[in-house]
Structure 1
Amino acid sequence: MAKRLWVERAADGSWEGHSDDGAMIKFGRGEGLFTPGDLAQIALAGCAAMSSQFAVEHTLGEGKGAKVVVNAQYSDDDDAFLSFNEQVSVDATDAKLSDEDADKLAERMTRHIEKGCTVKHTYERETPVRMSINVRN
């Protein structure tokens, strides 16, 4: 069963995303806040980072991980992202990997991301969104 998620307005005018298991994230518009568009990009980057974590830790050791930078092409006319560009990098300098081992790690990371990144899979296809509005009076 999917985790229940919801968003509510906070007293300071920002927004808070919540889950049944107690997770919370603050967002909105303004200094120090992520916008929903930022969160969409962070979700993509976070998914790649977490999906590749096993491959990175297996090669470089526990606690190691990738840095994922995401840039989006945005259309003002459509008010939508047209594409995303991810740069996934791993600092393996301490491990002194050979070129062959570095290539193998990159291939394993790619396979893990391609197999396990739900956000990437979702963004790569047209995903319907159904919405209902209930005004309680």
Structure 2
Amino acid sequence: MTQTDPSAFPPVTVSRLAHRRFVGRSSRGGEVAIGDASFPDTFTPGELLKVALAACAGFTAESAVTRRLGDDAAMTIEVGGDKDPAQDRYPRFAERIELDLSSLDPVARERLITVVTRSIEQACTVARTVKAGATIDMRVVDPRD
């Protein structure tokens, strides 16, 4: 059996609780309920992927937005995309960032839209990973080994 580089594993875990119910945990104590769509109080894995895309966009755009709109600027990011059941994957996502741009003149408005778009394209790790098609090295192990 080959050893796997421990740095390849981020400090997140997902543990099974019951049929189609899991809990995800970060090393900092955060938790998220995961389940299939029949459980109203959970996120599906596909929804978590969309949340990761939206959160990454928000983190990446935040400094440009607050610099131009103020520290209290509201920002909502929506990510949608339907699963293709035949391919069992999400072939595309649609991302929408809602900002109140009414305080900006037309030139400043277009400049902010350009800066936000460019910064997400260049620095959002999650979106860049999805677009590039990351490889996944997966192993099944017995924890007693």
Q: If the TM-score is normalised by the length of the shorter chain, which range does it land in?
A: 0.7 to 0.9
Q: C-alpha offsets along residues 44-74 of structure 1, whole Å, 9 cap, x if unaligned?
A: 1111111100011001111324221111132
User: Conserved in 2, the CA contact under 8 Å of 1:16 and 1:25?
Assistant: yes
Q: How many residues align?
A: 135
Q: Is the 8 A contact 1:53 1:65 kept in 2?
A: no
Q: 1:92 aligns with which of 101, 121, 126?
A: 101
1:107 corresponding residue in structure 2: 114
Query: How many percent of aligned residue pairs carry the same amino acid?
Result: 27
Unaligned residue ranges in structure 1 (runs of 5+): none
Tell me: CA distance 1:60–1:10, structure 2 relative to 1, closer, same or farther (3 Å).
Answer: same
Which of 109, 118, 125 pairs up with 2:132? 125
* Equivalent residue in structure 2 for 1:56, among 38, 55, 65: 65
- Correspondence for 1:7: 14
Q: What SS does the aligned partner of 1:103 have?
A: helix
Q: Which residue of 2 aligns with 1:35?
A: 44
User: Once the 2 structures are TM-superposed, how far is the Cα of residue 92 of structure 1 from its aligned partner?
Assistant: 2.6
Larger RCO (CA under 8 A, 6+ residues apart) = 1
RMSD (Å), alpha carbons: 2.1
Alpha-carbon distance change, 55 to 133 in structure 1, aligned in 2, over 3 angstroms: same
User: Unpaired runs of 5+ in structure 2?
Assistant: 1-6
Which of 66, 81, 94 aligns to 1:72? It is: 81
Deviation, 1:83, is: 0.8
TM-score, length basis structure 1: 0.87
